[in-house]
């Protein structure tokens, strides 16, 4: 009899969400721990404070998911960074697929090797691309404390891994997303450079930076929300390379970008 009891740290589970897995009711698991310290992250408690964590084991969590099978057909692992707990995540995803759940994992792409090993057990992957693929700039924006070249190598390799996986498994749903921050990465050349690299994606989401008191770096609150019209302008650039570009804003949630949207920009 195999042992299946790896320790698992998480902040909580959101039941019955329809926002994290498109078209499906899902249990959303907010996992603890991350190697990055992005100033605009809203998940600071899951990164910095073990007092905010719950600790369980993978066997107990699987029992919970099986009890909920009639109510939720998908499980989403988000963070902080799910692959920070790669072995526990691997155990859960493998068991969930055996039980015919749909599985989505959201990641920064830092753990490229773990992502590659995990892919056979997931249906849907979302990866954040923070800024242009430049080691020093990427490390600065993410607050990475290690060697910038290591961060960049692994993050870019995750993009390549997803590209190859998509070629082999067209049914694997791959999403990339960039949170656009005023005066930080709201640059059309930068966004176009990312869009070229992720042109194979099923979806590229441009997310509005939203100022608020729960940011990892509270000083960023003074920047204010990125204007929606600017997000639309950048989406037009991204849409030259990615077929499906969406906007995510505080006011309207997720909306598909269409060329006709530009006609309304002046009214925003």
Task: Give the pLDDT of residue 242.
Answer: 97
**Structural tokens at position 74:** 């998908």
**pLDDT digit string (tens) for 224-249?**
899 999 999 999 999 999 999 999 99
DSSP string of 159-172?
HHHHHHHHHH-TTS
Identify the CATH number of the domain in which residue 245 sits: 3.20.20.70
1 is a domain residue: no
240 is a domain residue: yes
23 is a domain residue: yes
In sequence order, what are the residues at sequence separation of 6 or more whose Cβ sits closer than 8 angstroms to the Cβ of residue 221? 211, 212, 213, 215
Task: Give the pLDDT of residue 5.
Answer: 64
What are residue 18's phi and psi, to 5 degrees? -115, 10
220: Cα separation from own chain's centroid: 21
Task: Give the pLDDT of residue 4.
Answer: 53
Task: Give the pLDDT of residue 260.
Answer: 45
Name residue, tokens 């991350």.
34
* Strand-pair partners of 205: 177, 246
219 is a domain residue: yes
User: How many domains are there within the chain?
Assistant: 1
46 is a domain residue: yes
135 is a domain residue: yes
Task: Give the pLDDT of residue 267.
Answer: 46
To which H or E segment does residue 10 belong? strand 7-17
Task: Give the pLDDT of residue 211.
Answer: 85
Question: Is residue 52 within 8 Å of 43, Cβ to Cβ?
Answer: no
Task: Give the pLDDT of residue 181.
Answer: 94
pTM above 0.85, yes or no: yes
2 is a domain residue: no
Residues of the chain short of pLDDT 70, as ranges, are 1-5, 48-51, 259-268
**Sheet of strand 253-256, all strands in order from the earlier edge strand to the far edge:** 54-57, 7-17, 26-31, 74-78, 102-107, 124-128, 173-180, 203-208, 245-249, 253-256
38 is a domain residue: yes
What are residue 150's phi and psi, to 5 degrees? -65, -45
257: Cα separation from own chain's centroid: 19
What number of other Cβ atoms are within 10 A of residue 34's Cβ?
Answer: 23
Helices (H) and strands (E) in the chain, counts: 8, 10
* Strand-pair partners of 55: 9
What number of other Cβ atoms are within 10 A of residue 261's Cβ?
Answer: 17
- Residues of the domain holding 25: 7-267
């Amino acid at each position: 009899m195999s042992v299946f009891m790896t320790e698992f740290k998480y902040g909580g589970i959101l039941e019955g969400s329809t926002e994290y897995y498109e078209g499906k009711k899902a249990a959303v698991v907010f996992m603890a721990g991350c190697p990055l310290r992005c100033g605009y992250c809203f998940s600071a408690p899951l990164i910095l404070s073990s007092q905010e964590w719950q600790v369980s084991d993978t066997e107990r969590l699987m029992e919970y998911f099986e009890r909920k099978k009639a109510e939720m057909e998908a499980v989403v692992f988000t963070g902080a960074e799910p692959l920070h707990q790669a072995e526990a995540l691997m155990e859960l995803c493998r068991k969930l697929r055996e039980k015919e759940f749909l599985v989505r994992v959201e990641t920064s792409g830092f753990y490229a090797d773990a992502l590659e090993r995990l892919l056979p057990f997931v249906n849907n992957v979302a990866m954040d691309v923070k800024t242009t693929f430049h080691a020093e700039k990427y490390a600065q924006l993410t607050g990475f404390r290690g060697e910038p070249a290591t961060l960049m190598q692994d993050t870019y390799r995750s993009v390549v891994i997803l590209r190859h996986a998509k070629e082999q498994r067209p049914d694997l749903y791959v999403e990339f997303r960039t949170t656009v921050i005023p005066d930080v990465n709201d640059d059309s050349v930068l966004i176009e450079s990312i869009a070229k690299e992720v042109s194979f994606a099923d979806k590229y989401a441009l997310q509005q930076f939203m100022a608020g008191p729960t940011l990892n770096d509270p000083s960023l609150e003074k920047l204010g929300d990125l204007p929606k019209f600017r997000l639309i302008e950048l989406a037009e650039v991204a849409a030259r390379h990615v077929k499906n570009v969406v906007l995510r804003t505080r006011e309207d949630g997720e909306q598909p970008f269409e060329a006709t949207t530009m006609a309304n920009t002046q009214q925003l």
